[in-house]
Structure 1
Amino acid sequence: MNHQWIFHDSHQSLFRSPFGAVPCHAKIRLAVAINSRDPLDSVILRLWKYGREEEKIPMQPVEDVGEKKLYRAEIMAPPRQGLLWYYFIIVQRGRTFYYGNNPRNLGGVGRIYDHEPPSYQVTVYKEDNATPHWFKEAVMYQIFVDRFCNGHEEGKILNPKKHCMIYPSWDAVPQYGRDPLTGKTICFDIFGGNLLGVLKKLPYLKELGISVIYLNPIFEAASSHKYDTGDYKKIDPMFGDNRLFQELCAKARDMGISIILDGVFSHTGSDSVYFNREGNYPSVGAYQSKDSPYYPWYRFIEHPHKYECWWGIETLPNVNELDPSYQEFIITGEDSVIKYWMKMGAKGWRLDVVDELPDEFVKKIRATMKQLDPESVLIGEVWEDASNKVSYGEMRQYLLGEELDSVMNYPFRSAWLDFMTGRSNAQELHLRLMSLYENYPLEQFYSAMNLIGSHDVERVLTLLSGAPAEETLSKEEQARFTLSNEQKRLGIARLKLLSLVQMTFPGVPCIYYGDEAGMHGYRDPLNRATYPWGKENQELLAWYKKVIGYRNRYDVLKTGRWLPVYSQGQVYGYLRIISQGKDVFNRPKKDNVALVMVNAGTEREVNLSVNLGCRCSGSLFDLLQEGRQYPVKDGYLHLTLGPLEGKLFMDGGLK
């Protein structure tokens, strides 16, 4: 049977309108096209609300589309936020056919099934859902403080801890000291970066074009990574003190730069004021006594030695986030952790492992933050599509208007890395990007934290260079590995292309410290080496300054409408558009259109004819080759792209 005799494409307005996520109470029109000479018994839209409320809605024929007949139904989005799921049931001569999402649940064109199919998703968000506009227009920079810069010129290490190993040189290869029998970390490596170093490098970050700094944890902790919090109200003495943090925030703010903190609230350190297993604090910790005020914070199986901990790591005891005293301490109290640091100057928080925090806890954090500063930003660590993330058997509510402003956009990262390295083609890339575009509310799509590197993944230059896969090398071989000149050339060419995309795509681009300088390395600890001050790759650094400058200069690259226009082979292209004096959020902006074209192929140049329709007039100007113009004739742009070449075109006016 012709597989196209039933057809639905959620990306086309003919079949689903409006596109993508919708607010509560919105009208949604859904349609399916059927091409069959045989009479139909029924065409049914099967709808699920909140994963449990089922409706079966008869669909009526409304018009002919070519040889197909279009069946349509109109529904109303429910009054409270959540997810809708739908597919179609077609009964013909007593036989039942199903039309649902494609097997990968990417939306767009689906397929026919002879059994219950995967459903299409509609995200329904609160009508007042909004994220701060200043953040949508920002460029972020992530700093792992110990490895960024030591602000003391003589290299002085502040308050070293007794169980830490201090490196003799700034450019040494990082490593952990591990027990050879258990494999457990028994000492941490320290290089000596501190908040004074961040403060002294503010002019560098300003020149680079940065407007938000995201700091990995900086509160007192036993480790170098600081995800084992010892005292939530105290800057780690190795990094400085609370007064210095306040000064950093003030000086950064004067330069137009906001500071985002890393909030680690699903667990503490065992070596902490609150648990105090090692007895290094004068407090009576939960480990020491059931009478401790902190005892209700933790989940003991058998006090004191058996307790729940994060991923089985005994130095990271899990907390009970729903305990009232813990919530008061972290969120709601007059001098809560959230309020304390925001009053000191922090503009927002990134929530570590947000999928391990209850929705109620996250909602309280957001409400508290917005009451204190409506323009503050709450970001969550999510590795998957955050609109339909399931955690501990529960569908999460991150993007529905009461929780996160932004999520770490790892799906963006993986889609583009696969494309850039030849593991996928442009059509595959397009479907993965469109899935996010369709599932995320517009506010969150444009405020997503678009990262290509972080402290939890390999350095992007290593991944792009064709280096051996991490799993093929021992830890010792990974530490010794250096890129050959040819690998470096390939990696830098790809990284320039990927950073061009990062700076021109909807969302907030985030640079992991040192990526702009050409740092490479496998995962932790090798992805956390020190910034190579004075040894930067100047070609790459100059490129980053150029493309960040374009993003900061042109509103269209921040909040212009996104429209894919080309996806063939290893070439992908998209438009960013501001027309009729309004951006995608209906804010007054100057009319502008930008076109981004990238060729991820490494072998040959390609000749292209890109259909721009009536969106551009006259000529497009190539910003990366100043003075070069390309005429648009009859709606088509003709151009040639060399291997690993990208172009950024700009037109000052629209038809």
Structure 2
Amino acid sequence: MDKDWIFHDSHIAFFRSPFGAIPCQEKITVALEVTTTEPIDAVILRLWKYGNQEEKINMHLINRIGDKRIFQGQMAAPDTPGWLWYYFIVTVAGRTYYYGNNHANLGGIGQIWDHEPPSYQVTVYRKGTATPNWFKDAVMYQIFVDRFCNGHDEGKILSPKQHCIFYPHWEATPAYSRDPVTGKTVCYDFFGGNLLGVLKKLPYLKELGISVIYLNPIFEAPSSHKYDTADYKKVDTMFGDNELFRELCQRAREMGISIILDGVFSHTGSDSIYFNKEGRYPGPGAYQSKDSPYFPWYRFTKWPEEYDCWWGVDTLPNVNELEPSYQRFIIEDDDSVIKYWMRLGAKGWRLDVVDELPDIFVKKIRRAMKELDPDAVLIGEVWEDASNKISYGQMREYLLGDELDSVMNYPFRNILLDFFLGQRDARQTHLALMSLYENYPLHHFYSLMNLIGSHDVARALTILSEAPPEDTLTKEQQARVKLSEEQKKLGLARLKLLVLWQMTFPGVPCIYYGDEAGMYGYRDPLNRGTYPWGKENQELLSWYKQVISLRNRYDVLRTGQWIPFYARSRVYGYIRKISGGRDVFNQAKKDNVAVVLFNADTREEARLSLDIGQWFKGTLADLLQEGQRIDVSSGQLRISLPPLAGKLFMDEA
């Protein structure tokens, strides 16, 4: 028999309706096509609920054309959120076949297996769940405070600490240093960026088109990265103080910009009020006394020297998030950490290593935030598809309605980098994006933090310029890498296309500080260089401003329907559409159609004749070339895309 004699495509409504994630109690209709001359004994839909409830549903023949038969079955989502998993069992002439998800587990067209196959996923979320609409319209900007801007014109360092090392000038290259006593790598290196610098650059961020600032940790801590918290209630004195943070939030809010903080709640620093290993704080910490109020927060195997710590780093002792006193301090008390900073002006939190926080802890944070501000946003650091993330042997409930509003969309970054580097073709890129689209609830898909760079990955320009692979170089060699002008030109062209994609795609685009200025660098510490004020790549910066302004101007690019329609070789295209005066969330919005196309090939021009008549007929304006218009009154869009080119057309400019 033909290899496709059994067929199901979860991306097509005929085979699965409704598409994608569904609310509780929703009914799903699935179909299976079987083409054979042999007698079909049975077609069964095998359903698995929440990992422990099996159900087998007999599918019924609804149509027959020659040797082709269509079977249909229906399943109902349960009353409580979770996951449904399904595949098909087909018995023909006494022999059993299985049809399930494909090898890549991406959904869409599956395949025939001779044994129990991987299942298709259906995410089931709590009915009535939503994410804040204002956030879906936002453009984010991530700031690593020490490296962004020193608000003192003379370069004054605020409250320098005795153990810190200061770079001789703002343009110096970040480097690892080692503790002279232990020999361990430490991050006590500082350039002098501070919150006053962020405040002074608000006009720049406003002009760029930013509406949300995500700050890496700002609380007191010995390191430059601040992920080793020493005092959750205090801005580090090298960055400013709590009152300055309040002023920053107020001034930003007046300019239409919200501030989101980084919450590091899975561990503290060992040099902190709570652990106090170095004895710098007056009260007894857990390291000093079992009678310390903070002693129950930590897990000692042999007090005081042996304790559970984050990834074995002894300066980062893990906390027990289920300890009631810790939960009261972080979440529940009237002056808890979460509430304290939100009352000072924070609009939300990004949770560091959220997969190491218990579900109940995250749910309590969300509840406390929403009680204080229903429009506050909770973002989680997740590196994979967050809809089916397994952490410590458990499926995480990030997107079922009671935990996160958004996650850091590292899969998006990886998919696009692979496409522009030629490591995925357009079809593979399409399937990877569709997998996310299918698995995430729609309101989450449109709230994803679509990043290109962050403090934990190499700068996009370095990767797109095809710098030598990071794992082939020492840190010292990485710092000395010099790219040729051709490499830089290639990287710049690719990054501009990637940014155009980022700004025209569903979700919340996030810019890592300095990417818009043309910063390079491998991973930490080289991805944490200082913003090059006065030395920006003006071509790239102008491009960022242009495409961000288009996103901010047109509702359709933010919350319009997303319709992928072309994926061949190195060319990918999609349509964004609002019709009937309503966007995908039934908000009143202006009707618009946008067509977005990319040619990732570095050598070949793409000559295209695209039938878009079912979505639009008329005249389209080229938003990237002023005054250029193209006639598609016939429904055919004929265009030549040069190598490394992108197009954004709109039905009106």
TM-score between the two structures when normalised by the length of structure 1: 0.99
Matches within 5 A, 1:99-110: 99-110=99-110
- Structure 2 match to 1:494: 494
- Structure 2 match to 1:87: 87
Kindly state the Cα deviation for residue 607 of structure 1 after the two structures are TM-superposed: 0.2
Name the CA distance, whole Å, in 2 between partners of 1:108 and 1:486.
39
Shift in alpha-carbon separation, 1:183–1:600, aligned structure 2, 3 A: farther
- Structure 1 match to 2:72: 72
SS at match of 2:40: coil
- Structure 1 match to 2:190: 190
Query: Which stretch of the first structure deviates more once superposed, 299-308 or 634-643?
Result: 634-643
Name the CA distance, whole Å, in 2 between partners of 1:49 and 1:444.
22
Task: Kindly provide the amino acid, as one letter, of the partner of residue 171 in structure 1.
Answer: E
Task: Kindly provide the amino acid, as one letter, of the partner of residue 314 in structure 2.
Answer: E
- Structure 2 match to 1:517: 517
Name the CA distance, whole Å, in 2 between partners of 1:283 and 1:385.
43
Deviations 1:400-453 (A, max 9, x none): 110000000000000000001111100000000000000000000000000000
Kindly state the Cα deviation for residue 218 of structure 1 after the two structures are TM-superposed: 0.1
Deviations 1:537-578 (A, max 9, x none): 000000000000000000000000000011001100000000
Shift in alpha-carbon separation, 1:60–1:532, aligned structure 2, 3 A: same
Q: Is the 8 A contact 2:37 2:67 kept in 1?
A: no
- Structure 2 match to 1:443: 443
Name the CA distance, whole Å, in 1 between partners of 2:457 and 2:380.
17
TM-score between the two structures when normalised by the length of structure 2: 0.99
- Structure 2 match to 1:235: 235
Superposition CA RMSD, Å: 1.1
Task: Kindly provide the amino acid, as one letter, of the partner of residue 98 in structure 1.
Answer: Y
Structure 1 runs not aligned, ≥5 long = none
Name the CA distance, whole Å, in 1 between partners of 2:606 and 2:130.
42
Deviations 1:559-611 (A, max 9, x none): 00000011001100000000011100011111100010010110021101122
Name the CA distance, whole Å, in 1 between partners of 2:131 and 2:211.
17
Kindly state the Cα deviation for residue 484 of structure 1 after the two structures are TM-superposed: 1.8
- Structure 1 match to 2:380: 380
Q: Is the 8 A contact 2:86 2:120 kept in 1?
A: yes
Q: Is the 8 A contact 1:165 1:187 kept in 2?
A: no
SS at match of 1:574: strand
Name the CA distance, whole Å, in 2 between partners of 1:613 and 1:64.
31
Task: Kindly provide the amino acid, as one letter, of the partner of residue 534 in structure 2.
Answer: G
Name the CA distance, whole Å, in 2 between partners of 1:636 and 1:306.
70
Task: Kindly provide the amino acid, as one letter, of the partner of residue 88 in structure 2.
Answer: F
Q: Is the 8 A contact 2:617 2:634 kept in 1?
A: no
Shift in alpha-carbon separation, 1:301–1:107, aligned structure 2, 3 A: same
Q: Is the 8 A contact 2:575 2:594 kept in 1?
A: yes
Deviations 1:141-176 (A, max 9, x none): 000000000000000000111111101100000012
- Structure 1 match to 2:19: 19
SS at match of 1:41: strand
Matches within 5 A, 1:26-425: 26-64=26-64, 67-178=67-178, 184-186=184-186, 188-425=188-425
Q: Is the 8 A contact 1:275 1:294 kept in 2?
A: yes
Name the CA distance, whole Å, in 2 between partners of 1:599 and 1:350.
34
Name the CA distance, whole Å, in 2 between partners of 1:588 and 1:278.
58
The alignment of Structure 1 onto Structure 2 pairs a total of residues equal to 653
Shift in alpha-carbon separation, 1:444–1:66, aligned structure 2, 3 A: farther
Q: Does 1:574 align with 2:574?
A: yes
SS at match of 2:616: coil
Shift in alpha-carbon separation, 1:425–1:187, aligned structure 2, 3 A: closer
Deviations 1:45-83 (A, max 9, x none): 000000110000000101136752110111111100001
Q: Is the 8 A contact 1:298 1:319 kept in 2?
A: yes
Name the CA distance, whole Å, in 1 between partners of 2:65 and 2:367.
48
- Structure 2 match to 1:560: 560
Task: Kindly provide the amino acid, as one letter, of the partner of residue 510 in structure 2.
Answer: C
Task: Kindly provide the amino acid, as one letter, of the partner of residue 365 in structure 1.
Answer: I
SS at match of 1:638: strand
Task: Kindly provide the amino acid, as one letter, of the partner of residue 194 in structure 1.
Answer: N
Kindly state the Cα deviation for residue 188 of structure 1 after the two structures are TM-superposed: 1.5
Task: Kindly provide the amino acid, as one letter, of the partner of residue 128 in structure 1.
Answer: G
Q: Is the 8 A contact 2:621 2:652 kept in 1?
A: no
Name the CA distance, whole Å, in 2 between partners of 1:211 and 1:441.
24
- Structure 2 match to 1:480: 480
Kindly state the Cα deviation for residue 474 of structure 1 after the two structures are TM-superposed: 1.2
Task: Kindly provide the amino acid, as one letter, of the partner of residue 435 in structure 2.
Answer: S
Kindly state the Cα deviation for residue 613 of structure 1 after the two structures are TM-superposed: 2.9
Q: Is the 8 A contact 1:163 1:187 kept in 2?
A: no
Kindly state the Cα deviation for residue 631 of structure 1 after the two structures are TM-superposed: 1.5
Q: Is the 8 A contact 2:350 2:378 kept in 1?
A: yes
Name the CA distance, whole Å, in 1 between partners of 2:516 and 2:218.
23
Q: Is the 8 A contact 1:43 1:89 kept in 2?
A: yes
Name the CA distance, whole Å, in 1 between partners of 2:405 and 2:67.
45
Q: Is the 8 A contact 2:262 2:352 kept in 1?
A: yes
Task: Kindly provide the amino acid, as one letter, of the partner of residue 496 in structure 1.
Answer: K
Name the CA distance, whole Å, in 2 between partners of 1:468 and 1:56.
53
Kindly state the Cα deviation for residue 634 of structure 1 after the two structures are TM-superposed: 3.4
Deviations 1:437-485 (A, max 9, x none): 0000000000000000000000000000011010111111101113221
Name the CA distance, whole Å, in 2 between partners of 1:270 and 1:181.
16
Task: Kindly provide the amino acid, as one letter, of the partner of residue 44 in structure 2.
Answer: I
Shift in alpha-carbon separation, 1:363–1:62, aligned structure 2, 3 A: same
Q: Is the 8 A contact 2:187 2:225 kept in 1?
A: no
SS at match of 1:417: helix
SS at match of 1:387: helix
Q: Is the 8 A contact 1:591 1:652 kept in 2?
A: no
Shift in alpha-carbon separation, 1:541–1:134, aligned structure 2, 3 A: same
Kindly state the Cα deviation for residue 187 of structure 1 after the two structures are TM-superposed: 5.3
Q: Is the 8 A contact 2:195 2:239 kept in 1?
A: yes
Kindly state the Cα deviation for residue 36 of structure 1 after the two structures are TM-superposed: 1.0
Task: Kindly provide the amino acid, as one letter, of the partner of residue 280 in structure 2.
Answer: N
SS at match of 2:388: coil
Q: Is the 8 A contact 1:195 1:244 kept in 2?
A: yes
- Structure 2 match to 1:467: 467
Shift in alpha-carbon separation, 1:500–1:185, aligned structure 2, 3 A: same
